[in-house]
Amino acid sequence: METVETTARSCGTCTLCCRLPEIAALDKPPDAWCRHCSEGKGCAIYTNRPQLCRDFLCLWMTDPGVPDAWRPLTSKMLVYEQGPQLTILVDPDHPDAWKQASFPSDLDNWAKAAQARGHYVILFCGDEVTKIEPGVTAPA
Ligand code: SF4
Ligand code: SF4
């Protein structure tokens, strides 16, 4: 939703948050491009984009503790927090993305940290919803 640069990370040509989430205020279903998004370029109404778009940045952008590998442009996954829920949206065109490389281990670490705080981790991929339980994605 934002095209932002921080000292460490930038959205670049990523527009994943304009595609994967449902955005009721824009009448946008999940896993569909926002009608205002020009893929690979960004928001066509950037200066007039809704406040919710102005306010949103994914966790990869805001939390240096999220490993570089989670860059949405390449990981095909979007991570953000909603209260006690850590949400992972997986691009349905890459449904196994979260099972690759270091992602299962990272998810396991997040699930453990979330559980310790009374929080939880939910992964969405198309119509599939998975609660990430500690010890499941990366068994000890
Ligand atoms: S209005 Fe712009 S920033 Fe918001 S979802 Fe659509 S394309 Fe993205
Ligand atoms: S998903 Fe993250 S990196 Fe990609 S455009 Fe949205 S805020 Fe930027």
Average the pLDDT over 100-114 and give the result.
97
- CA geometry: angle 8, 107, 102, nearest 5 deg: 70
Residue ranges of the alpha helices (H) in 20-92?
A: 51-55, 59-62, 72-75
Q: Could you report the per-residue pLDDT of 58-96, keeping only the tens digit for each?
A: 999 999 999 999 999 999 999 999 999 999 999 999 999
Q: Longest Cα pair distance anywhere in the chain, in angstroms?
A: 49
Residue list, ligand 1 pocket, CB within 6 Å: 1, 18, 23, 26, 34, 36-37, 43, 45, 49-50, 53
Q: Which ligand is nearest to the CA of 14?
A: 2
Domain range list for the chain:
11-54, 57-140
pLDDT at 8: 77
* Average pLDDT of every residue of the chain: 92
* 119 C-alpha to ligand 1 centroid (Å): 29
